[in-house]
Amino acid sequence: MSRVLIIGAGGVGGVVTHKCAQARETFSEVLLASRTESKCEAIARDVKKLQRRVIKTASLDADDPKNTIALIESFKPEVVINVALPYQDLAIMEACLATGVHYLDTANYEPPDKAKFEYKWQWAYRKKFEQAGITAILGCGFDPGQTNIYCAWAQKHHFDEIHTVDIMDCNAGSHGKAFATNFNPEINIREITQRGKFWEEGKWVTTDPLSVHTPFDFPECGVKDMYLMYHEELESLVKHLKGLKRIRFWMTFGKPYLTHLEVLQNVGMTSIEPILFEGKEIVPLQFLKAVLPKPETLGKNYTGKTNIGCWIEGVKDGKFKRYYVYNVSDHAEAYREVRSQAISYTTGVPAMLGAKLLVEGRWRKPGVWNVEQFDPDPFMHEIGRWGLPWVETAPEGPLPV
């Protein structure tokens, strides 16, 4: 039995908390902390009602490691699950190092003043975590996270060499809002407005933002336009897949969403450069975040499904092989279970299971690791019963791109 500290009370934080509360045999006590404790208390009320379990809450400014160190020393958790802003990853890792506590997150570090996310800052902590004898697991959401594990599973059980991977993320749901993002608006918009990038034949190839797109018929979701983007799991998977020749990431967007985004860009509202407004400096994107619907409020009226998976091609026993593995999640079902929409649900469930495998010793080794560096079998064997069942198929034709 282990104590778990969850930092971050947004949509994903709510799901992680519900799921840790469900995992009674592993997590004896659950503490949810956030800068705004009232958000933690609202989640705690839902957990008590739906999971019949009482959890603890706390106020925490995670920007300063000293605050997190004090909370860890008070609560004494075995693991910290970080679902706060990516800007806070390094500060929380520092707190875990200082206290000898295991660490897990769902998104890699991103500096606040530059829209650039990559693993180099967190990978630089590898020796420190090794010397401390504790484990840091990076990117244990869905993408990154479960998609990486799909690749590791395919490499272990289906391929001798993986030549191409296409990670495809489809949201065919509707929240009824004119414009909203399914996770933190500031992080979401920074990610989408960056240049696209994919890896091919040993080098990175860049594209204009959302300039490459194609329709794809997603199982249970239908035909949707998906757009080529850069996503962080590509950076680690190119290091860990044998024989890889190309890897790409795709995400679906509807025309109304893209139209709103274009207008907001054109008028400067997606900028992260500070401007002077009424004698004070503000960041336009942070102001936009404040006026947009909060992701955790979207679940109640959300309908439709998501489909996220990996289309993989390569060689097995000297023969070409094509393999497609994916999960389908339902927004309404996610809301009934944990008061969340499916985007937060698909991110939060793998985070709980990764932490569970860590504290149980099945995913534990000193250092800093991406999820595909662990044995995928225990995760794949359990993730279905926790709410994210997977389907694997052998498509007859090539990916229509």
How many other CB atoms sit within 10 Å of the CB of residue 38?
Answer: 10
Residue 392, phi then psi, degrees to nearest 5:
-120, 135
CA 162/CA 166 separation, integer angstroms? 11
How many other CB atoms sit within 10 Å of the CB of residue 96?
Answer: 27
Confidence (pLDDT) at 271? 85
Confidence (pLDDT) at 303? 95
pLDDT in tens, 327-361: 999 999 999 999 999 999 999 999 999 999 999 99
Confidence (pLDDT) at 183? 65
pLDDT in tens, 173-200: 888 887 877 767 777 787 788 899 999 9
Amino acid found at 386 = W
Show the tokens assigned to 88. 């806070």
pLDDT in tens, 232-272: 999 999 999 999 999 999 999 988 887 888 888 888 888 88
pLDDT in tens, 40-63: 999 999 999 999 999 999 999 999
Give 216's pLDDT tier (boundaries 50, 70, 90): very high
pLDDT in tens, 267-315: 888 888 888 888 888 888 888 888 888 877 887 889 999 999 999 999 9
pTM score: 0.93
How many other CB atoms sit within 10 Å of the CB of residue 282?
Answer: 13
pLDDT in tens, 82-110: 999 999 999 999 999 999 999 999 999 98
Is the pLDDT assigned to residue 319 strictly greater than 90? yes
47 by Cβ neighbours in 10 Å (0-12 / 13-18 / 19+) ranks as buried
In 3D, which of 335, 274, 327 has the Cα closest to residue 301? Answer: 335
In 3D, which of 137, 17, 6 has the Cα closest to residue 72? Answer: 6
For the chain, give the percent of residues with pLDDT over 70.
99
Nearby residues of 397 by Cβ (< 8 Å), 6 or more positions away: none
In whole numbers, what is the pLDDT of the chain averaged over residues?
94
Residue ranges of domains in the chain, CATH in brackets: 146-330 (3.30.360.10)
Whether the CB-CB separation of 110 and 40 falls below 8 Å is answered with no
